[in-house]
Every structure is written in C-alpha cells, then in structure tokens.
Amino acid sequence: MIDITDPAVGMVQLVIFTVEPNSQQQIASAIADQVEKTVAHRAGFLSATYHLSTDGTQIMNYAQWTSTDAFDAFVTNPAARAALADLDGILSTTGSAWRIHRAVTPASAR
Amino acid sequence: MIDITDPAVGMVQLVIFTVEPNSQQQIASAIADQVEKTVAHRAGFLSATYHLSTDGTQIMNYAQWTSTDAFDAFVTNPAARAALADLDGILSTTGSAWRIHRAVTPASAR
C-alpha cells in the first residue's frame, strides 16, 4: 500500500523517461531493480512507482520523499545515480518536484 | 487514503496545467472544487490528487480511474469538461495515460 496522501510525504519527485520503441517494460524493470538495490536504502525515501505510458514511449516514476533535503542528498550522491547511467535505451529524462495540494475522492465515498 | 497500488486502478491519467504566475494555489483549488462537483460523481472515477510544482508554475493532477473506458466516457462528455474551460489563468494543459508497472518501497520496510 502506497498512500498518496500520507502526511509523511514532504515532496513528490516526478521523473519521466523517454525510451526506445519496444523497450519500455524491460527498461522500467531494470530501473526499478537498480532503485531497489540503491535508493530504497536511503533515509527519507518512501516509495517509487513505475508507470508505463499507454502509447509505449515513456516511463514515469512517481516517487515520494520525506523532504526536499532528503531527495537533494540522494541527487548529489554520485554513487547512487551511477547505476542508472549504465542502462541502455533511455533517450531522455526529465524530473520535477511537487508538493501535495488537495485530493478529491468519489462522491459516493463521502 | 489513496493507494497508488490499489488493484482497482485500471489507468492513471496525469494532467499538467501551466498557470499564470502567483495563481497556482488559487487555480488548483478552483479545479479541485469543480472536479468535486462533477467528475467525482462519475462511474469509474477513483481519485484526483492536485500537486503544486515547487517552482510555482504548474499544477499536476494524478488521477486514478477503474478503466480507460470509464475515463474516455468522461472525456467525451462535454458537460463534464465545460466547467474547467471557464477557469482563468490556465496557460496550457497536457494529459497522458499510464498503467502501473511496479512499486519499490524502502528496504527497511521489506
């Protein structure tokens, strides 16, 4: 269970990878494997969920961190990032930082 | 509680709004208000969570639907979308469709 509205979430990092055709699932699994071995051991890491675009061209990671400081400490650590640099088939990567504003749930659930 | 890995989630719709400076929080609240009144009553809608980019320029909605068909039925309904068209300050909107591939949780939690 990964709760989007968990109060422990201090920042959300959205990373979108554009990948070579027909490599989407394989690359998503390879990235998740690496993250499981490295980032998942870092203080402040809460979750990383990999999504596949229905058009087959992109992978999106919705990642939860306890704070921007915790994420920055990861990003500035070269060892933690080197593993991803070795993966083939990633054409481009963009990242953006977010905080939760408000959630809307079904009317029937209120 | 909004579970990213809820098995009921058939598709994730990511919508990113670029907004006028200093209007981010107000517009995010206005969109969420409209969605609460309209989309939240539709069959197949599971959740919509509004995020603010830390740079102040964008709003991101991470929305869960039971299926692509349920989402398509909403998108092709003019009445359900008209409310958003009346909001001022939205410079551009992009949407993309995703499905969950895999989630990674902290090593300490495994």
d(CA A93, nearest CA chain B) in Å: 16
With a threshold of 0.80, does the pTM exceed it?
Answer: yes
Q: Is B100 close to A49, i.e. CB distance below 8 A?
A: yes
10 Å CB burial of residue B62 (0-12, 13-18, 19+) is: buried
Residues of chain B with pLDDT under 50: none
Q: A46 — contact with chain B (CB < 8 Å)?
A: yes
DSSP A28-93: HHHHHHHHHHTGGGSTTEEEEEEEEETTSSEEEEEEEES-HHHHHHHHT-HHHHHHHHT-TTEEEE
| pLDDT score for A78 | 75
Name the closest residue on chain B to residue A104, using Cα atoms: B48
A-chain residues within 8 Å CB-CB of B26? none
ipTM attached to this prediction? 0.93
Bridge-partner residues for A19, per DSSP? A90
Name the closest residue on chain B to residue A100, using Cα atoms: B51
